[in-house]
Structure 1
């Protein structure tokens, strides 16, 4: 009887834990898709919803290199970037996670033919993922 209780308890805890992992993975995918949609549509406002209050923003084609820029200022800078380089496509390359961070590389293609390598680093808080670092490097 004791063995059955241990097996049952192990299964219950395993199900709860795997449900937590599945929920976290679904949340990561949802955030990744929202960010992708914001960049692909050139919507700086929707992208800025996912910014930390201060973030690193680098856009080498515009000679922009802010190591700690306020989220509102970063939104305005990206709004101008999207005007100058309207989006044609945005595709994730590599995505990964480490302790309390999520990172990805991507390719941003502009309508005018320019292409940028994009690096995004998000910090994981208790409830959400927020962009801490955003780099656009012209190819």
Structure 2
């Protein structure tokens, strides 16, 4: 019984952890759907790998916000949907989405890491299909 009481608080943390993963994906989805680099930057890690049409570079959070702002300005969103989400073998959450802008379709891929007490985007890609 004592063992159960010791582990009971840990059981409450498990759903909260997965809920936090889902929350960031939903928040990021809404930010991308709105084409808001400012809102999206709230969920970026301090260093972010950003890929735009095959060109990948590592940026600071502030630099990544400017890159995303320019992308959204050149490609205003018509719609954005998450088509798949899951976790890697190591437990890192990820999501794959489809971003539509006019006649252009982009595959969006993001990898999320737990940084301290919250989940943040570590890598994000926009690849024209």
What's the TM-score once normalised by structure 1's chain length?
Answer: 0.83
List runs of 5+ in structure 1 lacking aligned partners. Answer: 1-7
String of CA shifts for 1:84-123, please: whole Å, max 9, x gaps.
111111111221124352111111111x121100110111
CA distance in 2, matches of 1:47, 1:56: 14
Aligned position for 1:104: 95
* RMSD (Å), alpha carbons: 1.7
Q: Secondary structure at the match of 2:78?
A: strand
List runs of 5+ in structure 2 lacking aligned partners. Answer: none
Residue 66 of structure 1 and its aligned partner are, at CA, apart by: 3.8
Aligned position for 1:127: 117
Q: Which has the larger radius of gyration?
A: 1
CA distance in 2, matches of 1:39, 1:119: 12
Q: Secondary structure at the match of 2:116?
A: coil
Q: What number of residue pairs does the alignment pair up?
A: 128
String of CA shifts for 1:35-92, please: whole Å, max 9, x gaps.
01100000001101111122111111xx7x2421121111111111111111111111
Question: Greater RCO between the two (CA within 8 Å, min separation 6)?
Answer: 2
What's the TM-score once normalised by structure 2's chain length?
Answer: 0.88
Q: Secondary structure at the match of 2:81?
A: strand
Aligned position for 1:89: 79
